[in-house]
A and B are shown apart, each in its own frame.
Chain A
Amino acid sequence: MLNFSKINVLIIYSLFIFIAIFAVLNFQNDDEQYIKKKINLGLDLQGGSYLLLEINSDSLVQEKIQSKVIPIKKLLRDNGINFSNFKINDNNLSLSLDNIEKFDLLFNSRKDNLVNPYIDNYRSFELEYKKINSDQIEISFSKFGLLTINNSALKQSIEIVRRRIDDVGTKEPTILQRGEKRILVELPGLKDPERIKSLLGKTAQLNFRLVSDNKEFGTDELISENGEKLNISKRIIMSGENLIDAQPSIQNQNNEPTVSFTLDRLGAQKFGRATSDNVGKRLAIVLDGEIVSAPNINEPITSGNGMISGNFTFQEATDLALLLRSGALPTPLIVVEERTVGPDLGEDSIKSGITSLIVGFILVILFMLYKYKLFGLIANTALIANLLMLIGVLTILEATLTLPGIAGIILTVGMAVDANVLIFERIKEELKTEKSIIHAFDSGYSRAKITVLDANITTLIAAIILFAFGSGPVKGFAITLGIGIITTLFTAYFLARHLTSLVVLNTKNKEINI
C-alpha cells in the first residue's frame, strides 16, 4: 500500500492540481475572465426572489365548455337529432336526445370532426359523454382534453410571464415549468419583488365595451373610476389580442400620464367601425373585470391608434402599458410559494458563513496537529487539498452555493479527517504487533480501507437522497456534502497515503511516532 509507481504519483498530483486550479477561478476579476466558470451564489446568499406560481385552469375549462354549446347544437340540428333540456353546467353540458346511437356515431367520428376533434398525440377525443339514463347524456372534456387545455394554458402562461419579466429588465431570471400546473421563477438580485408579484398577479384581459342599457347581449353593472354605476354591454367590441404595442405617455394638455396603444389591421377595422357607429356614446375600457375609464366617443377613431387615460400615476401607466404589450394570461396565476431574501441579509449570511468556515477549519487543524503531530500535518495537508478540490469540483459543475451549502462544507471539514483518523488509529494498533514499521503502515492502510469505504458510503447515501428530495437551499447542502465525501476519499486514500509513504520510507526502521 505504500508503494507508488511514478505514473501513479503523476496521475494523483495532476488530477489534484487540475481540479484545484478551478477553485482559483472564483477569485478572478469579472472583467478579465479567461475561463468563464464560477460557483453561483444561491438566492439566499446574493438576495433575490423565488416564486412558485400555479395556474388554475378551472375557469378556462368553463369558458371552453361554453364555447362548445353552439357547435354541438348545430351538429344536432344539421343531422335531425331532436334534443331538449339543454343545460350548461360548470364543467359539463347535459341534454336529452332522441337518437343517441346516431349522436355517438357523429360525436366520435375521426373525420373532419369540428365539434370533438381527435387528439393524435394522446389517441383520444377532446370530449367524452356519458349516459345518465336512457335518453339523457352529459358531455364533458376527456382526461386528455383537460390535459391539452392545461398544457397549452401553462405554455402560454410561461411565455407571458417571461415577456413581463424581461420587460422589467431583471438580470438572469430563471423561468421553468414545474410539474403540470406550476411555474418556477427565480429572480436574483431583485430590488422590488412586490412590483413583479403585482405584475404577475394580473391576468390583464383588456376589453372595449359600450356603456349601454341595451339588454340584447346582456349587461354587467360595473363601477367606473369616478364611482359611477354603469351598465356595460357584454358584447366585446375589441379585446387586448388586437393590440400590437402600448407605451406610457404624458398627455400634453394637462400633464396626465396615459397609455397610448397601436392596433393591428383587424383591430383598427373593428375599432373604426364601432367608434363610427357609436359617436356620442361612452366606451368602457375594462381590465380584468374592472373599468379603467369610460370616455365619450367624440369622433370615429380609424387610425388604429388610441389612448387610455384613467387617473394613473406614471408608474401605473408604465405597468399597464407593459401588461398590455406582453399580452393576457389565459388564467390567473397564484403565488403558492415565495422566498425573498434582501441583499443585505445575503451579504450577512455570506460573512457569517465564511467566518464559521474559517474558524471551524482552524479548530480542526489545530486539534489534528495536537493529536497526531507530524501525521497531523499530513492529515491537515490532505484537508486543505480536500477543501480546494471540493471548491474546484463545485466550480467545474457551476453548482449553486447556498447557506446550508456552506454548512455542508464546514461539516465536510469536520468529518473528512475521519478517514485519516481511522487509518492512523489502525496503524497504531498494527505497530504494536508488527515489528516492521513499513509492514505496520501497509497493513494499517489495507485493513482500514473497507471500514473507511463503508463509513463514507452511508453518508453518501444520505446526501443522494437529500439531493433527490430536497429543494432550493437544502439541495445546496446535499451537493457540498456529497461531493465532499468523494474528495475526502480521494485525498485520504491517495494524497495522504502518498505523503505518509514518503515519511515512512525515509525514516526506514527508526522510531516513528503517530
Chain B
Amino acid sequence: MTNFNFSSKFKHANIFSVILFFISIILIAFKGLNYGIDFKGGTLIELRSNNTEASSIRDVLKNMDLGDVNVKKFGKEGDFLIKFEEKGDNNKLIPEIKKNLSDNLNSDVNFRRVENVGPKVSAELLQSGIIAISLSLAAMLFYIWVRFEWQFSIGSIIALFHDVIITLGIFSLLSLEINLSIIAAVLTIVGYSMNDTVVIYDRIRENLGKFHKLDIRDIANLSINETLARTIITSVTTLLALFSIFILGGEILRGFSFAMILGVLIGTYSSIFVASPILKYFKVSYKTIEKEEEKIVP
C-alpha cells in the first residue's frame, strides 16, 4: 500500500479546483460553446478531392450566398470539412454545391458525408441533450443517496459538476465542437467519475466503522491510499483504450475520445481531491454512518 499524504494537499487542491471551476463557468458564459450543426442547425459536408486547397473551395462557395462558410482540412490530405448555416432548400442546394465544386475545381469531388439539421430539430436535440445530462446527474444523486448517507451524495454531485463544467470549460477554451457524440462522452464521464468516487467512498465508509478515533481527514487519506493502486490501474487501462480510439479511430471519433480522455483525468483527480475532502465540511464521522447503518444493503 502507498502512503502518500494526500490530506496535506487538500486545501491547495480545493482552491485550484474552485479557480478552475469559475474560470470554466466564465468561459462558458462569455466565450460560449462551439455548437456543431447538431445543436445549431446547418449543413456539414465532408469532401474528398485529389488535389485542391481549402481556399479554392472557399472561393467557389463564396459566390453561392451560403452565409458564413467554414472550410477546414479534415484528416488526410485532400479531405475537407465544409460547414455553413444555410437557409435555402436542402433538396436542391446540395446537388448545386456538388455541381459548382466539380465544375470549378480541378479535381474529382466526392461527398463522403452530408449532414443537414433544420433549426427545429437542432433545438430539440439540444433540449434532449440537456435533459439527458440533468437526468443522469439526478439519477446518480438518487443512487448515492439510497446507498450512502446524504453527505456522500452531495459530495459526489459536487465532484460531478466539477468534472462536467471543467470538461466543457476546456472545450470552450479550445473552441472544440460540441455535438451529439460529446453529449455521449459527457454522460460516460459522469458514469466513470461516479464509479471512481464510489470506490473511494465505499472504503471511507468501511474505515469510518473500523477506526473510530481517526478524524475524517485521516480516514480519507487512508482510504485514498488503500484504493490508489486500483484507481491508477483502471485509469491506465481506460486511457489505453481511449488513446487507441483517439489516435487510430478516425476523425469522427476524435472529439469524442478527447472529451473522454479529459473526463477520465479530471474524474480521477476529483474523486481524490474533490469528493473526499468535501466530507470534512459536512463533519462526517463514524457517527454519521452509525445512524444510518440499517440502510446499508448487505
Query: A residues bordering B, Cβ < 8 Å?
Result: 44, 52, 54, 193-194, 197-198, 201, 334-342, 344-345, 348-349, 352-353, 355-357, 359-360, 363-364, 367-368, 371, 403-404, 406-407, 410-411, 413-415, 417-418, 421-422, 425, 428-429, 450-451, 454-463, 465-466, 468-474, 477-478, 481
Offer 28 A-B interface pairs, CB within 8 angstroms, sorted by A.
A197-B91, A335-B91, A336-B120, A338-B117, A339-B116, A340-B113, A342-B112, A344-B110, A345-B46, A345-B112, A353-B253, A356-B245, A356-B253, A364-B240, A367-B236, A403-B250, A413-B241, A414-B237, A414-B241, A415-B195, A418-B195, A421-B234, A450-B202, A463-B191, A465-B136, A465-B187, A466-B187, A477-B184
Closest B residue by C-beta to A336: B118
Contact status B233-A421, CB under 8 Å = yes
Dominant secondary structure at the B interface: helix
Q: Which residues of chain B come closer than 8 Å to A353, judged between CB atoms?
A: 249-250, 253
Q: Are A458 and B116 in contact (CB under 8 A)?
A: no
- A469 contacts B131, C-beta separation under 8 Å: yes
Considering the chains assembled together, what is the distance between the CA atoms of A477 and B48 in angstroms?
27
- Chain B residues whose C-beta falls within 8 Å of the C-beta of A411 in the assembled complex: 188, 238, 241-242, 245, 260
Measured between beta carbons, the chain A residues less than 8 angstroms from B199 are 422, 451, 454-455
How far is A454 from B121 in the complex, measured between Cα atoms in Å? Answer: 36
What residues on A are CB-neighbors of B116 within 8 Å? 335, 337-339
Q: Establish whether residues A425 and B244, one from each chain, have CB atoms under 8 Å apart when the complex forms.
A: no
B241: nearest residue on chain A (CB-CB)?
Answer: A414
A197's nearest neighbour on chain B, judged by CB, is: B91
A461 and B137 CA atoms in complex are apart in Å by 10
A344 and B244 contacting across the interface, CB-CB below 8 Å: no
Q: A335-B91, A356-B248 are in contact. Are A364 and B188 (CB under 8 A)?
A: no
Q: Give the contact stretch, choosing among B20-28, B139-147, B286-294.
A: B139-147
Asked if B192 contacts A404 (CB within 8 A), the reply is no
CB of B257 closer than 8 Å to a CB of A? yes
Whether B111 is near chain A, meaning CB under 8 Å from some CB there, is yes
- Report the separation of the CA atoms of residues A197 and B96 in the bound assembly, to the nearest whole angstrom: 13
Q: What 4 additional pairs, Cβ within 8 angstroms, besides A413-B241, A418-B234?
A: A338-B90, A341-B113, A356-B249, A404-B181
**Do A425 and B227 touch (CB < 8 A)?**
yes
For the complex, what is the distance from the CA of A460 to the CA of B115, rounded to whole Å? Answer: 30
Residues of chain A with a CB closer than 8 A to B227's CB: 425
The reply to whether B190 and A407 form a contact with Cβ atoms under 8 Å apart is: no
> Do B244 and A360 touch across chains, with their CB atoms under 8 A apart?
yes
How far, in angstroms, from A451 to B117 measured CA to CA in the complex? 43
Q: With A and B bound together, what is the CA distance between A1 and B159 in angstroms?
A: 34
List the A side residues contacting B128 at CB < 8 Å: 469
Contact across chains for A367 and B226 when beta carbons are under 8 A apart? no
> How far is it, in angstroms, between the C-alpha of A242 and the C-alpha of B226 when the chains are bound?
81
Q: How distant is the Cα of A348 from the Cα of B252 in the complex, in angstroms?
A: 11
CA distance A353 to B253 in the complex (A): 9
B129 within 8 A of A: yes
Within 8 Å of chain A (Cβ to Cβ): is B230? yes
Smallest distance from the beta carbon of B166 to chain A beta carbons, Å? Answer: 18
Cross-chain contact B139 with A465 (CB below 8 angstroms): yes
B194 beta carbon closer than 8 Å to chain A: yes
B111's contact among A337, A342, A348, by CB below 8 Å, is which? Answer: A342
| Interface check B60, CB cutoff 8 A | no
A461 and B143 contacting across the interface, CB-CB below 8 Å: yes
A residues less than 8 Å from B46 (CB atoms): 345
Which of B183, B184, B199, B257 is the most central at the interface, judged by chain A CB atoms within 10 Å of its CB?
B184
C-alpha gap A306/B252 in the complex (Å): 53
What residue of chain A has the Cβ atom nearest to residue B194's Cβ? Answer: A458
In whole angstroms, how far apart are the Cα atoms of A456 and B245 in the complex?
22
CB within 8 A of A458: which of B120, B131, B132, B191?
Answer: B191
Asked whether any CB of chain A lies closer than 8 Å to the CB of B265, the reply is no
Report which residue of A193, A352, A429, A462 has the largest number of chain B beta carbons within 10 angstroms of its beta carbon.
A462
When C-beta atoms are compared, the residue in chain B nearest to A416 turns out to be B237
The reply to whether A473 and B202 form a contact with Cβ atoms under 8 Å apart is: no
Contact A342 B234 (CB under 8 A): no
Tell me which residues from 69 to 126 in chain B have a Cβ below 8 Å from any Cβ of chain A.
90-92, 94-95, 110-118, 120-121, 125
Which single residue of chain B is at the shortest CB-CB distance from A450? B202
Shortest Cβ distance from residue A67 to the other chain B in the assembled complex, whole angstroms? 29
- Whole-angstrom distance between the Cβ of B89 and the nearest chain A Cβ: 8
A337 near B236 with CB under 8 A, answer no
Per a CB cutoff under 8 Å, which of B112, B180, B203, B230 touches A421?
B230
Contact between A341 and B121, CB atoms less than 8 A apart: no
Q: Among the listed B136, B234, B240, which residue makes an inter-chain contact with A363, where contact means beta carbons less than 8 Å apart? A: B240
Assembled-state Cα–Cα distance A359/B111 (Å): 30
The one of A418, A456, A473 in contact with B181, judged by C-beta atoms closer than 8 angstroms, is A473
Asked if residues B198 and A455 are in contact (CB atoms below 8 Å), the reply is: yes
> B15 on the interface (CB 8 Å rule)?
no
B135 in the interface, Cβ–Cβ < 8 Å?
yes
The smallest C-beta distance from B78 to any residue of chain A, in angstroms, reads 13
Contacts of B241 in A (CB 8 A): 360, 363-364, 410-411, 413-415
- Minimal beta-carbon separation of B272 from chain A (angstroms): 15
| Distance of A418 from chain B, by nearest CB (Å) | 4
Top-6 shortest CB links A-B: A414-B241, A462-B191, A360-B244, A469-B132, A459-B191, A352-B250
Would you give the shortest CB distance from A287 to chain B, in whole angstroms?
Answer: 16
Tell me the bound Cα distance from A461 to B188 in angstroms: 10
